[in-house]
Structure 1
Amino acid sequence: MSSAPQSPFPPDIADARARLGASYRRLGHAIAGHLVEVDVLDRLTTALDAATAELDALPARDRVSERPTGDWGPPPASGEAMFSFDERPVSGRAAPLGFDVSVTRDGDEAVGRLTLGKAHEGAPSRSHGGIISALFDDLFGFVLTIAEQAGFTGELTIRYEAGTPIGVPLVCRVRMVERVGRKLLMTGELTPESDETQVFARATATFIAIDPERFRQLTTD
Structure 2
Amino acid sequence: MASTTKEVLSDLSPIIKVYTDGTVERLIGSPHVPPSPEDPTTGVSSKDTTISPTLSARLHLPKLTHSTQKLPILVYYHGGGFCVESAFSFFDHRYMNLLSAESGALVVSIEYRLAPEHPLPAAYEDSWDALKWVCSHVLDQTHFEKDEWITNHADFNRVFIGGDSAGGNIAHNVALRAGSESLPGNVKILGTILSHPYFWGSNPVGNEPKEDIQAVVIRIPVCSRWH
Normalized against structure 2, the TM-score is what? 0.27
Normalized per residue, the structure richer in helix is: 1
